[in-house]
Chains A and B, each alone.
Chain A
Amino acid sequence: MIAPPPPSGPVPYNRDFALLLLTDMLRVRRMEEKSAELYGAGRIRGFLHLYIGEEAVAVGALHALQAHDNLVTTYREHAHALVRGMPMSAIMAEMYGRQEGCSQGRGGSMHLFDRTTRLFGGNAIVGAGLPVAVGLALADKMLRASRVTACFFGEGAVAEGAFHESMNLAALWRLPVLFCCENNRYAMGTALERSESQTDLCAKASSYGMPVLRVDGMDVVAVHEATLQAQARVRAGEGPLFVEYQTYRFRAHSMFDAELYRSREEVEQWKKCGPIHTYTARLKRQELLDEEAFLALDAQVAAEVDSAVVFAEAGSDETFESMMADVHTSGGLSR
């Protein structure tokens, strides 16, 4: 798949909001670069799926939602948790397996949960978040909450039965679900055209009778505008809506991926559309930012990352007893 032209349109926001988008993309990027480094150093273990290259999607989309909306994500969810408001230190501590982590160190990178921001995980089974999102939206509809449930998943999930069953149920019951498909073109090593007889994902979603939007996921402005429009329609009671964000991951699928399935040229092509440097250039062109301000911002983000690492390093281990006593809400039930 040929990369699209790099995003270059005008940024239609005031300085504060324009810089907020940049700051959040940078926070995600620098946090993940640091996690990769810490993985190499053995501080973080297990599966680690980086979002590097895809930052415009979570940042643009989540800033279009409201604070009380529900969020359901996959295992590639560091960005979503951070942008939604989870402290970077809680994410880092979770990756370290510390009890100060958002999930007490029981979940790790793939299972970030946060009750205060209504982040319902962090699901590492491809497609499994979709039915949960449908149910959250059902509860909101029946309890008359004006919430939207945003459900993020990769294009790989489109091949799962869970996708089709959930699309049908959400459309049939006209539930307020915003299906956010992060189409980064690959499911591990399997390219979309090698796994789908119909590669037009919007066509699949429309077949369930719901409106669809396709957006350049490398362009934070396009993502934000499309998601604003989409969430307004869902919130207004029009039923579910499907958004396809066309994006690309620059790094390996996880830390165990030799990337045999794609060429270096292809990755380099896509890097030309990188969401952060293209957006930075646009801001500079519009004189919303200069190099000095950019460097200051980057330094501020680096300091946040450093203190998150310090927090995680200083964290403590949950005791075996505490872990065993929390299988059920009401305490341990093992007999």
Chain B
Amino acid sequence: MTTVLTSQENARIDACIEAHRKMPGALLPVLHAIQNDLGYVPEEAYPQIAHALALSVAEVHGVVTFYHHFRRHPVGKHVLQICRAESCQAMGAEKLEAHVKSALGIDYHQTTADGAITLEPVYCLGNCACSPAVLMDEELYGRVDSQKIEAIIHEARVSA
């Protein structure tokens, strides 16, 4: 899935690179900045990044693909992360996960047809005293059941 970046997107990527390239070990900060801005790290940006940091395109590709956090494709307006780790399992995360998947009609790493919500698994959000936990964008929720998740999803949809 290759897309052509607009010149505006290219300029934003350049700005992200410029702001961080002088840091020691700059690659992760650069990738974070790009993803924060565009929502993902487009493959078309690898040569720019590689050139600025004196790396090979293969090295940039290797790093982007190594880390679960970095996305290679555009995502929905909102990203919903459901914790799959042990503490949340002990409090019914599996049921919650099944409910969300069927309510949204998607599996993990997919986006709803209306482009509103991308679903991702996550392994612990540090909210284990109030499991199950989910993160909607940067908003954390605890003791989430089917009813609560419906409300969270609804709120995200209307705010979109």
Task: Answer whether A and B are interacting partners.
Answer: no
B residues whose Cβ falls under 8 Å from a Cβ of A: none
